[in-house]
Amino acid sequence: MVPTYAWLWTLLAFILTWIVFHLIKRKKTAAEEAEAETEERRDGVADVIIVGAGVAGSALAYALAKDGRRVHVIERDLKEPQRFMGELMQAGGRLKLAQLGLEDCLKEIDAQESHSLAIYKDGKHGTLYYPSSTKFPYEPQARFLRNGRLVQRLRKKAASLANVQLEEGTVKSLIEEKGMVKGVTYKNSAGEEITAFAPLTVVCDGCYSNLRRSAIDNKEEVLSHFVGFVVKNSRLEDPHSMHLTFCKPFPCVIYQITSDEVRVAAELPADSIPSMANGDMVNFLKKTVAPQIPETGKLRETLLKGVDEGLLEVKIHATMSMSAKPCDKKGVIVLGDAFNMRHPIIASGMMVALSDVLIIRNLLRSLPNIGNTKKVSELIKSFYIIRKPMAATVNTLAAVFSQVLIATTDEAREGMRQGCFNYLCSGGFRTTGMMAILGGMNPRPLTLVLHLVAITLTSMGYLLSPFPSPRRFWHSLRTFALALKMLGAHLVDEGFKEMLIPTNAAAYRRNYMATASD
């Protein structure tokens, strides 16, 4: 029996030694992390560096600074941006601004109320209103606006906080050590090259990001282009609607961006842009686009006035798509158009960016300091899951709708185009359901999938009417196949689980759609 007791005592001694060793190691690690975080606070280094002070960057700077973080924002150009994308803040985006404490940034910029989407096709039209819903805790309205004015208001609000340093400079590169981003190298307005360090760097420098490829393996795809110009001293008969015409081959949108200015934007093929220099653009707008714009509501008149006045503030902007891929590097997050893009036809990019900002703010609130890289990395991994309901819904709707709007000679595609128009104009739960999704009031991917299935069936019914024939039956089957192809691509890209299982959407609504203020 003596040898048995000897083995037992030896085993117990080994277990106790192992436990004590690991307790000491864990305590030492925790002490080192706490010491490192304390040291960072002593050094006066910023908690967060944000590259880019657009809508996402400025909003995030304000949100983190309100939570006591020290934020260093580096923006290439602090003058008011002159761009014509990002000129509609959806109802869901307004809710996010309110939750971030930034709703007043929509004031004093001459923003215009938007209540509806008006669509036109072949002499017919329908008006689709944002639904009034007791489940949406905010005013069901969007806002048309000058993007640059909104950005300047957001920058001013962020810079008003003492712990925000807003600086003009061009970031050249990320500073990396052993796969971890430690900060950035940039040139300030005086031309001096400076290095700045922080435990966390956020890259949100727009669709033409210089740093994207240093952080994530995302590649943008150019889908088409938009030519946009402003018509001065003009007001539409219905200034509270986004007017979308199903032109051939690409759509045209007209909307009131200020009390006396109207924006006209026409989509162009990616590989065939009419020349501005030799007058081809003017001829395209006058002879191809204008005859398809309805005369009602001063729409055609306004477009022609803008062309005759010389296309004021004319710009050509590429429409790009880029799926969101998680960043594997520690110490860095990518947000906004630098991270995820979709076709702008549904005007929801700012809403998705603000949703991402809100999620990041809420996740980081649980950390006393951001110096614990391991904990930050764990939180960022959950960010990619939490954002899916809003982002996947918007990305899928934008991709499908933009493809459906393109006019072709293919009978199956034209059937889908007409079926989409008929479905949106049909009223009832079909119209209110789609407008709730468009406005970010109901970010449920599964609900969108069901609507897209219903649109496909409507399109097939249109092709089979007034009575089925072999030719019509064949084209209806092709329409079904096209719908499967379009939707299937996004189910794969966004994830079957995220798109079809409603648990994530329910959690998102509970945590990020429940109240208008935090």
Kind and range of the H or E element at 187? Answer: strand 180-188
Same domain? For 409 and 305 the reply is no
Q: What is the pLDDT of residue 370?
A: 87
User: The domain that contains 79 carries what CATH number?
Assistant: 3.50.50.60
- Select from 261, 289, 320 the last residue of a domain: 320
Show the domain range for 455: 397-513
Specify whether 281 is located in the same domain as 337. no
What is the crossing angle of helices 147-159 and 55-66, to 10°?
20
Q: 129 - beta bridge partners?
A: 116
Tokens of 394: 């918007």
Q: Which amino acid is at 80?
A: E
- 354 and 500: one domain? no
Give me the pLDDT at residue 29, please: 55
The answer to whether residues 206 and 165 belong to one domain is yes
Distance CA 445, CA 509 (A): 12
- Domain presence at residue 228: yes
Total count of residues recorded for the chain: 518
Sheet strand arrangement including 200-203:
193-197, 180-188, 164-177, 71-75, 48-51, 200-203, 332-334
Question: Which residue type is seen at 465?
Answer: S
For the chain, what is the total number of helices (H) and then of strands (E)? 16, 17
CB atoms within 10 A of CB 206: 21
Q: Are residues 100 and 28 in the same domain?
A: no
Q: What integer pLDDT is reported at residue 516 of this predicted model?
A: 63
Strand blocks (E) in 234-381: 241-245, 252-258, 261-269, 315-321, 332-334
Indicate whether 304 belongs to any domain. yes
The rounded distance, in Å, linking the Cα atoms of 425 and 451 is 13
Rg (the chain; Cα; Å): 26
Query: Of 371, 405, 434, which residue sits at a domain end?
Result: 371
Q: Residue 41's pLDDT is what?
A: 45
pLDDT computed for residue 43 by the predictor: 52
**261 located within any domain:** yes
415: its two tokens: 């059937």
Domain annotation covers residue 121: no
**Coil, strand or helix: which one is 481?**
helix
Q: Are residues 300 and 174 in the same domain?
A: no
- Find out whether 208 and 357 touch, Cβ atoms under 8 Å: no
Query: Is residue 250 assigned to a domain?
Result: yes
C-alpha of 489 from chain center: 19
139 found inside a domain? no
Tens digit of each residue's pLDDT (9 = 90 or more) over 342-375: 999 999 999 999 999 999 999 999 898 888 888 9
Residue 492: enclosing H or E segment and its boundaries? helix 470-494
Domain boundary among 300, 320, 340: 320
The domain that holds 254 is classified in CATH as 3.30.9.10
137, two tokens: 């805790």
**63 lies in the same domain as 202:** yes
Q: Are residues 196 and 265 in the same domain?
A: no
**125 within domain boundaries:** no
Instruction: Note whether 315 and 326 are same-domain residues.
Output: no
Same domain, 67 and 159: yes
| pTM of the complete model beyond 0.75 | yes
Q: Are residues 207 and 356 in the same domain?
A: yes
Give the residue ranges of the chain where pLDDT is below 70.
Answer: 1-11, 13, 18, 20-44, 134, 516-518
Domain count along the chain: 4
Over the range 23-51, which residues count as b (16 or more CB within 10 Å of their CB) and which as e? eeeeeeeeeebeeebeebeeeebbbbbbb
Q: Are residues 362 and 214 in the same domain?
A: yes
Q: Residue 403, exposed/middle/buried by CB under 10 A (0-12, 13-18, 19+)?
A: middle
Whole-number Å distance between alpha carbons of 402 and 411: 18
- Amino acid 157 reads K
Instruction: Say if 23 falls within a structural domain.
Output: yes
Could you write out the DSSP letters of every residue in 361-374? HHHHTT-S-S--HH
